[in-house]
Amino acid sequence: MTTSYRNLRVLNPTPAIALAIVLVCGGTSLAAKPNFVITIADDHGVYHSSVYGSNEFQTPNLQQMANEGIRFDNAYVASPACAPSRAALFTGRMPYNNGIVGNHEFELKPGVSSLLPVLLDEGYEVVFHGKVGHAGRKHFGQYVPDGVKILGGGGLQQTMTLDQVESFLQGRPENAPPLALFLGWTDTHTAWPPKEEARIAPEDVVIPPKIFDTPEARVEMTRYVEAAEDIDRRVGQTRELIAEYLDVNNTLAVYTSDHGMPWPFAKWSLYETGIRTPLIAVWPGKIKPASSTDAMVSWIDLIPTLIDLAGGTSPSGIDGRSFAKVLFGETDKHRDAIFATHKGDKEKNVYPIRSVRVGKWKYIRNLHPEFAYTTHTDVWAKETPRDPKHWAHAGHHWQSYLDAAKTDPSAAAFLLDYHSNPAEELYELASDPFEKNNLASSSEQAGKLAELRELLDNRMREVADDRSLSGPPQLLKDFPLPQVTLTKQAPAAAKKPNVLFLISDDLNTALSGFGHKQCKTPNLDRLARRGVKFENMHCQYPVCGASRASIMSGLYPYSNLTLGNEGTLRGNLPDVVTLSQTFRNNGYYAGRISKIYHMGIPFEIIEGTSESDDPFSWDEAINIKGPEQNAPGELTNWSPKNKGSQNFTGVVATGGDSEHADGMAADRAIEMLSRVRDQPFFLAVGFVRPHVPLVAPKKYFDQYKRDEMLAPVVPQHDLDDVPRIIRGYKRNSTTYGVTPELHKGLLQAYYASVSYMDAQVGRVLDALEEQGLAENTIVVFTSDHGYLLGHHNKYQKQHLFEEATRVPFIISVPWLKEQHGRGTTKITELVDLYPTLTELAGIPAPGTLQGTSLKPLLLDIESPAWNKEQAFTISRSGGESIRTADWRFTQWGFGENGLELYDLNNDPGEFTNQARNPDYASVVKKLRAQLIAKRDAAGFKQNQKAIVDKSGMNKQKK
């Protein structure tokens, strides 16, 4: 084969195989034993392909494998270093059971043998090509027996083509025995391709969470991306060989890697990015295409699986066991616990670690937290004089971290986090997949910590773990660590930062950057890449007037007494000092464009008024006058039984963006930016879409095909177990007359309106750049509350389900760059915005504010300093709700008209109300106490009579 491996095509989806391990179906009667083709990558992290969600990696061949086979989402190696990982693979035993524990060790314990002879005894021709075992021929006589045929070398970058494999396959006779072919590729192990060969540009790579972002790191990441794409091309080439020389329908192909990438917090660590591995298997006609599994499997299970599928029996006493039933979709369970071990890598990495994962919980024990954690990446990067052989495998970007840490506290904190670790770490992986929030010191998780600690202790005793070291350690007390300061100053030129506050109306989290599968919001996604997403942000009242009054006052509705759309904030609280007023009082020009406080939409847009505005908040206020539902175009009502002002009317409008409300708002915002650019400003821009009427130019409707709109999935009898006050609220499909066909049109119109609004955000952001203001302007985007679009068969707002309380929220602070492009799932509230902006701008805030500054999360999305545990939202009819990381608890009529409790880990759709389930009685009691405490702190106790009177429930409540 002479084709360059860099120019291989992606095969058409014919019955082909992918690069990986070829397996046989257990219990299936076959005319011949199946072939196995196993591809093992070196240092290819689980997240670094399109198969596992990283679309900046162009890996079409791996993607085609996943499309034709099964993707394992919880596959693990036994150790995050080459030698022990591969020894575990071929012996079916964990490191302390096989004797190879540290990297570059190669002698098995007496009595331990390879599993490959079992395949040889079953009549297989076992063939290695490339780096399959570790350290070349040192493992011959260990786990590589004499009967294994070696085609090409095994060192780093030595085997660059499949020519020898093709020659071997060409020469096999028709009656050749079944084949077990193992291919090992080292592309993703350093050294990577030169930066000049990288396809991807530095600005387009994604720096993994927990890793500090520098220009030099981005250049290095382009090289790693190219290396991963090189392996993908090898996968395509291997599949061509399988299709040409083997029986595809009797061949199992598997792709996997020995551990994570050689970057911080990955290889040489027991974090998920170190020990979780890609695993994809294809077998046409045997494995269901495009399937996936959450079953936890280990590399020690791979060879026992092959033996099982070959009709053989694995030796007794090994740790591994076949997962053939998982391959064929017969079960989604395999292991209850995953253990992993790391000893070290000679003197470069002397840091023994142990871990166990059970369900969503992960426990890590650092046996010597007094040691400094180092690896080849940083040790060889600092080596003087430089050894070229070492430099090839060093972190070429490491010096940029050291330089940044001299002046940047975030860089210093990153290096401190890298070099030092606590004795114990505990992570809840469902909400914290990148293990940023260590819960080991949490009193709430003391029971889980003790449980996993005991499990690991028992395991270490069982395997006679001797806790030995790989070399002489460096003590942390003697290691040069950067000094970390806890705060970071605004731009060096003591110039006051500007604030651009953008707020949408009735927008739920239907943004592509927040994971929505259909709605397109490229400009807000762009802002998210330049800022931090808050993915668990909740409003304080799911209706416009009350929510916006809470945002602008920094107070909960129970304190500012704005409990709906009636009245005004200052009418309820005459002495309030609003958010923009505080900026005015500190020398800022405060401007408003369109809807910031409540406005009656569509009427006040048609009339160009804003009756609930607060004149004290602004130096200049501009109202927008637009046609709304009177715009020329195709007028439709997708809720024909709803005759009120809030019906689902919309217009597929003719004309351009600036002929409608949000385009006009963007025009005026751009004009105001040009006028106030030479003074510090607080500019608030309100976009009214996707509030009804759903008016947008036709080109935005054309982005969505009505027939392809996906309505929310709602179980039958969803609301049978909720309080009557919810069932009786008449914003539903029946009372609105929304048929399934109309529902598709409604969704198309809502998403078109969102995309129209998004385009206007983009225009304002572009103007900020063009006028040279971007580097000194804090940008905030959010919505006043969420919105139901058929969720629970309900519509619009004033509900207390997740879709009504949760809002999109993005903050971009140009000089706080480390967390840019990342999202936090910490519980946060819109009431937190006011103190956040005053702290970022360095101006004093009123002492009455009830929110908490989000700045700790802008510095670290998993900041241990963030301790807010509940978001508090109220609604009509005495509805009160708290949202925690695991639960939503809601009561109606201030607790007298029914309760709701949802277990969000097991019921994220909030479909099963557990409030009356006796098994949850203790949870209800605990959360109800938390809700009472939260609402009293929010002002209920102080203003109880006024609150109850305003709610229309005049009976005094306790």
Residue 16 token pair:
């082909």
Residue 238 token pair:
């291997």
Rounded average pLDDT over 528-533: 94
pLDDT at residue 475, rounded to an integer: 93
* SS3 assignment, position 599: coil
* pLDDT-based confidence at residue 137 (cuts at 50, 70, 90): low
Instruction: Find the range with the poorest average confidence among 344-358, 368-382, 478-492, 787-801.
Output: 478-492
The residue that leads in pLDDT, 493 or 328, is 328
Angle at 395 between CA 412 and CA 205, to 5 degrees: 85
Q: Check if the beta carbon of residue 38 is closer than 8 Å to that of residue 24.
A: no
pLDDT at residue 71, rounded to an integer: 97
Asked if the model's pLDDT at residue 663 lies above 90, the reply is yes
Smallest CA-to-CA distance from 188 within 342, 46, 7, 386 is with 46
Instruction: Write out the H or E segment, with its range, that includes residue 129.
Output: strand 125-130
pLDDT at residue 950, rounded to an integer: 85
* pLDDT-based confidence at residue 781 (cuts at 50, 70, 90): very high
pLDDT at residue 140, rounded to an integer: 63
- Distance from the Cα of residue 506 to its chain's centroid: 25
Rounded average pLDDT over 248-258: 97
pLDDT at residue 489, rounded to an integer: 41
β-pair partners for 652: 634, 696
Residue 921 token pair:
């009685």
Strand order in the sheet with 887-891: 871-875, 879-883, 887-891, 899-903
The residue that leads in pLDDT, 821 or 135, is 821
What is the DSSP code (8-state) at residue 10?
A: P
Question: What percent helix, strand, coil does the chain show, rounded to 5?
Answer: 35, 20, 45
Residue with tokens 């020659």: 167
β-pair partners for 120: none
The residue that leads in pLDDT, 953 or 252, is 252
* pLDDT-based confidence at residue 407 (cuts at 50, 70, 90): confident
pLDDT single digits (tens) 708-725 = 999 999 999 999 999 999
pLDDT at residue 159, rounded to an integer: 53
From CA 143, how far away is CA 21, in angstroms rounded?
18
* SS3 assignment, position 342: strand
Count of beta carbons in the 10 Å neighbourhood of residue 362: 25
Instruction: Write out the H or E segment, with its range, that includes residue 130.
Output: strand 125-130
Residue 170 token pair:
């060409």
Asked if the model's pLDDT at residue 627 lies above 80, the reply is yes
- Distance from the Cα of residue 785 to its chain's centroid: 22
Q: Check if the beta carbon of residue 64 is closer than 8 Å to that of residue 10.
A: yes
Residue 369 token pair:
């937290």
534: Cβ–Cβ under 8 A, 6 or more apart, which residues? 809, 810, 811, 823, 824, 826, 828, 854, 857
* pLDDT-based confidence at residue 487 (cuts at 50, 70, 90): very low
Instruction: Write out the H or E segment, with its range, that includes residue 344.
Output: strand 337-345
Angle at 871 between CA 865 and CA 876, to 5 degrees: 165
What is the DSSP code (8-state) at residue 9?
A: P
Peptide bond into 304 cis (omega under 30): no
pTM over 0.85: no
pLDDT at residue 645, rounded to an integer: 74
Instruction: Find the range with the poorest average confidence among 197-201, 569-573, 862-866.
Output: 862-866
Residue 408 token pair:
């940047």
From CA 904, how far away is CA 883, in angstroms rounded?
10
Residue 596 token pair:
């910031």
Q: What's the mean pLDDT when you consider all of the chain?
A: 91
Terminal-residue alpha carbon distance, the chain: 82
β-pair partners for 901: 889
Regarding beta strands 291-298 and 620-622, do their DSSP bridges make them parallel or antiparallel, or are they unpaired?
unpaired
Q: Check if the beta carbon of residue 426 is closer than 8 Å to that of residue 412.
A: no
Smallest CA-to-CA distance from 790 within 734, 838, 835 is with 734
pLDDT single digits (tens) 913-925 = 999 999 999 999 9
pLDDT single digits (tens) 275-300 = 999 999 999 999 999 999 999 999 99
855: left (phi over 0), alpha (psi -120 to 50) or beta: alpha
pLDDT single digits (tens) 747-768 = 999 999 999 999 999 999 999 9
Beta strands per DSSP E along 202-311: 251-257, 279-282, 291-298
Residue 500, CA distances (Å) to 173, 429, 492, 550 in order: 72, 35, 20, 18
- Distance from the Cα of residue 313 to its chain's centroid: 41
pLDDT at residue 23, rounded to an integer: 34
Burial of 531 (0-12, 13-18, 19+ CB in 10 A): buried
Strand order in the sheet with 828-829: 806-807, 537-538, 828-829
pLDDT at residue 10, rounded to an integer: 39
Rounded average pLDDT over 182-193: 93
Q: Check if the beta carbon of residue 824 is closer than 8 Å to that of residue 534.
A: yes
Peptide bond into 191 cis (omega under 30): yes
Count of beta carbons in the 10 Å neighbourhood of residue 621: 18
Transcribe 910-935 into DSSP letters.
--S--TT-GGGHHHHHHHHHHHHHHH
Q: Check if the beta carbon of residue 567 is closer than 8 Å to that of residue 660.
A: no
Residue 384 token pair:
């003087």
pLDDT single digits (tens) 379-401 = 999 888 888 888 888 889 999 99
Q: Report the percentage of the chain scoring pLDDT > 90.
A: 83
pLDDT at residue 484, rounded to an integer: 56
For residue 524, give the amino acid letter: L
pLDDT single digits (tens) 106-118 = 899 999 999 999 9
pLDDT at residue 953, rounded to an integer: 57
* pLDDT-based confidence at residue 155 (cuts at 50, 70, 90): low
pLDDT at residue 139, rounded to an integer: 61
pLDDT at residue 642, rounded to an integer: 84
Q: Check if the beta carbon of residue 117 is closer than 8 Å to that of residue 173.
A: no
Q: Check if the beta carbon of residue 117 is closer than 8 Å to that of residue 61.
A: no
Instruction: Find the range with the poorest average confidence among 527-536, 688-697, 728-737.
Output: 728-737
Asked if the model's pLDDT at residue 24 lies above 60, the reply is no
Beta strands per DSSP E along 844-892: 871-875, 879-883, 887-891
What is the DSSP code (8-state) at residue 268?
A: B
* pLDDT-based confidence at residue 138 (cuts at 50, 70, 90): low
What is the DSSP code (8-state) at residue 830?
A: G
